[in-house]
Amino acid sequence: MERFETDVVVIGAGAVGLAVARSLAMAGRDVMVLEAASGIATETSSRNSEVIHAGLYYPGGSLKARLCVRGRRLLYQYCNERGVEARACGKFVVAVTDAEAEAVPALLARARDNDVEDLCLIDGDEARRIEPALSPGVRTALVSPVSGVFDSHAYFLSLQGEIEDRGGAVVFETPVVRGFVTADGVELETGGASPVRIGARSVINSAGHRALQIARAIEGGPQYPHLKMRWVKGSYFSTSGPPAFSRLIYPMHNSASLGLHLSVDLAGRTRLGPDAEWLDEAASPPFDYAVDPARAELCYAEVRRYWPGLPDGTIAPDYSGVRPKIVGPGDAPGDFLIDGPQGHGVAGVVNLIGIESPGLTSSLAIGEWVAGLVDLK
């Protein structure tokens, strides 16, 4: 089996792996990204809402809160500088029931603690003046002007270009199957048509759904016996006709997701979803991404709480994604697990596990963060 040596290997060319590799390449590191699929960002990074989150929801001090707010600022700046289309269209989080309306001030306070800019509360009449299709039942709305949408695929291509411009490589159809920690770093073995061995001083495991599995396949690395991955599928529906809203409309969130929301993408298409469906405990990747048309009924019911004018027969199953969770149903929402040598004690290994939403928004900030962890002992 052929053997190569490099400075840093990043496993996985999704949004996060690419952003991490870019940060390392910009810091002068010699980076190789190993990707199992035949292209960049074919998994969760292509199966999401493409929303740039403000950072409203996450507990103060959590990695999600800090990296989302920092990542959002970096992402707008990056898109602006690199010609990637992004639009800060703004977002309303709408409350319909008494309980939802009572919870809005706490969400506002949390978002302000997280350092989210320009927030305010408006009443239902003001919300309907700005977005006339909103339900008369909407009592109050939290307004977040810095939330937006962007062209994530142009972003991924731009990241790949920057990695390659700095001498890095993104290598496809090269799944990492196992590895072991050595005195000098980590020795990896790949599968695919031409298996190879690669010796690296540092390995960043950003394998998305398979990140825990890969961590456990590296002998001598942290094994996380207490962790169990759980999966929440999110299905989307598209609507026909011109968009009824110009902002993102989110209901007050529930625990597994941010609620079944409405977004208008850069092409002007209205997208409804994702919903939230906990998969069976025994489920594991690869997942069935087919959208069950029967879930349209739930979608109509949820969306009509804030958009009663959604006409019958106008929504169609679109696509789905699966959230990788390190908590189960009923648990408090989990944080990102970004675990480097200082956390687990093994030099040269950084694992990124449970990078669910807002991972896309946070990606550049995660890149910065991980670049700072790699060489710590």
Ligand X SMILES: Cc1cc2nc3c(=O)[nH]c(=O)nc-3n(C[C@H](O)[C@H](O)[C@H](O)COP(=O)(O)OP(=O)(O)OC[C@H]3O[C@@H](n4cnc5c(N)ncnc54)[C@H](O)[C@@H]3O)c2cc1C
Q: Report the interface residues with ligand X, using CB under 6 A.
A: 11-17, 34-37, 41-45, 47-51, 53, 175-176, 206-210, 214, 234, 274, 321-323, 355-361
First vs last C-alpha separation in the chain: 31
- β-pairing, 120-123 with 140-144? antiparallel
Comparing CB distances to ligand X, the nearer of 124 and 359 is: 359
DSSP 109-122: HHHHHTT--S-EEE
- Tokens (6 digits) for 99: 């309980």
Q: Is 123 helix (H, G, I), strand (E, B) or coil?
A: strand
CA distance 174 to 299: 38
Nearer to ligand X by Cβ, of 41 and 138: the residue is 41
CB 261 → ligand X: shortest distance, Å? Answer: 9
351 neighbors 65 (Cβ within 8 angstroms) = no
Residue 330 is classified by DSSP as T
Closer residue to ligand X, CB minimum distance, 41 or 101? 41
Nearer to ligand X by Cβ, of 135 and 206: the residue is 206
Least separation in angstroms between residue 110's CB and ligand X is 18
Q: How far is the CB of 359 from ligand X (least distance, A)?
A: 2
Q: Report the C-alpha gap between 195 and 197 in whole angstroms.
A: 7
Q: H or E segment at 80? A: helix 63-82
Pure H helices in 114-151? 124-130
Nearer to ligand X, 101 or 198 (CB): 198
Which CB atom, from 45 or from 144, has the smaller least distance to ligand X?
A: 45
Question: With the CA atoms of 131, 134, 138 and 144 taken in that order, what torsion angle do they form, in degrees rounded to the nearest 10?
Answer: -40
Tell me the closest approach of the beta carbon of residue 196 to ligand X, in angstroms. 13
Closest residue to ligand X: CB criterion: 359
For residue 102, the minimal CB distance to ligand X (Å) is 27
- Are 208 and 43 within 8 A, CB to CB? yes
User: Cβ atoms within 10 A of the Cβ of 87, count?
Assistant: 15
Spatial separation of the C-alpha atoms in residues 204 and 199, rounded to whole Å: 13
Nearer to ligand X, 27 or 171 (CB): 171
Q: How far is the CB of 98 from ligand X (least distance, A)?
A: 29
Task: Single out the residue of 34, 35, 348 nearest to residue 201, CA to CA.
Answer: 348
Judged by CB, which is closer to ligand X: 43, or 151? 43
Q: Give the HSE-up count for residue 106: Cα atoms under 13 Å, Cβ half-sphere.
A: 9
- To which H or E segment does residue 204 belong? strand 196-205
Say which DSSP state 55 is in. -
Nearer of residues 29 and 91 to ligand X, judged by Cβ: 91
- Quote the DSSP letter at residue 194: S
What is the smallest separation between the CB atom of 99 and ligand X, expressed in angstroms?
25
